Amino acid sequence: MPVSSSSTSAPEALYALATAAARSVVVVGTAKNAGKTTTFNALRAVAARHGIAIAVTSIGRDGEPSDALDAKPKPRVRLAPGTIVALPAGLVPRSPALAILGAGASSALGATVFARVMLPTTCEIAGPPTAREMRATIDRLRALGSGPVFVDGAIDRVAALAGGDDAVVVATGAASGATVARVAAVAAETVARLMLPGRDPARERARVVVVRGALDARDAEELLADARGATVVVEDPTRVALRGALFAQLREAVDLRCERPLRVVACTTSPHGGDGALGRATALAPRALVDAVAHATGLPAFDVVADLAA
């Protein structure tokens, strides 16, 4: 059943959970069109209803009218007055909507511009290309305002958040699979990968293997052959370039950890199909999906459109 009107709505509950112990929240998706920007917009809408001034940016590029690859419509990013935004100079709207506060790292679209929204405006947002510059951008947004920072993220580019106090929300849905069970399985694997435990010398096994760079299929095969039972340490969860059965086998065979962990706090679900068409009839049962994802990941799960929580 939907969250009752007398209780906290799903978007409100997600907002409270994500911002409880974090000044910055990044939303990533398990697949293209998994509901990432919808979740991002829902969090911003909660802040707006409560009069909380926020800051926003993106790891990647978001808010385009249509997808660059398949031309499907995409959720827009409409910014309310008082919002602080980081975006490349090439995406700054040609209007008096923004007051420029400063500049930062460069990208293919120009220097990162920090600005305060003066008039309601719809625009595309993007962040700098490297993890170090993204970390600096988030930290500067924190310094420029007192409210939370929301980041429309990319699952393979969240290294900037590793080791920090940022909260991560994973968006998943029918874009990741044709059945509720498949979507839940993909979500569980994604969360397991992102939530690798941090390195703990007190709990390390007799043999410790430190993997520099990406941990790929070749590395995994070598570890399965020569290092079963060892503690295997990567720099951060984004370094694990494994999926499916091989990732599961490695987790069973070794104590897989990382130097700089991430903090995943919740999942969101979208029952819409993977073609990305906004407004399409639901392909999966919303309640079954949110329940299955919560059970499979062990995390709170929310459907911010259907107003469901599990």
Which residue, among 293, 211, 271, has the nearest Cα to 33 in the 3D structure?
271
DSSP-assigned beta bridge partners for residue 234: 258
Least confident of 10-19, 57-66, 162-171, 231-240: 57-66
139 close to 13: Cβ distance less than 8 angstroms? no
Q: Give the whole-number percent of the chain exceeding pLDDT 90.
A: 67
243 close to 279: Cβ distance less than 8 angstroms? no
Judge residue 33's burial from the number of C-beta atoms within 10 Å of its C-beta, 0-12 exposed, 13-18 middle, 19 or more buried.
buried
Q: What pLDDT score does 60 carry?
A: 74
Q: What pLDDT score does 129 carry?
A: 80
Q: What pLDDT score does 287 carry?
A: 97
The encoded tokens of residue 211 equal 């993997």
Least confident of 3-12, 17-26, 231-240: 3-12
Q: What pLDDT score does 229 carry?
A: 96
183 close to 37: Cβ distance less than 8 angstroms? no
How far apart are the C-alpha atoms of 117 and 271, rounded to whole Å? 33
Q: What pLDDT score does 222 carry?
A: 96
Go through the domains of the chain in sequence order and give each one's CATH number.
10-190+262-309 (3.40.50), 197-258 (no CATH)
Least confident of 67-81, 119-133, 197-211: 67-81
126 close to 88: Cβ distance less than 8 angstroms? yes
Q: What pLDDT score does 74 carry?
A: 72
| 70, pLDDT greater than 80 | no
Give the H or E element holding residue 37: helix 36-49
pTM assigned to the model: 0.89
pLDDT tens-digit profile of 215-261?
A: 999 999 999 999 999 999 999 999 999 999 999 999 999 999 999 99
What would the mean pLDDT of 294-303 be, rounded to a whole number? 98
How far apart are the C-alpha atoms of 222 and 225, rounded to whole Å? 5
How far apart are the C-alpha atoms of 309 and 13, rounded to whole Å? 8
Ramachandran region, residue 163 (left: φ > 0; alpha: ψ -120 to 50; beta: rest): left
| 304, pLDDT greater than 70 | yes
User: Which letter does DSSP use for residue 170 in this model?
Assistant: E
Q: What pLDDT score does 63 carry?
A: 63
pLDDT tens-digit profile of 85-143?
A: 999 998 888 778 899 999 987 777 788 999 999 999 888 888 888 888 888 999 999 99
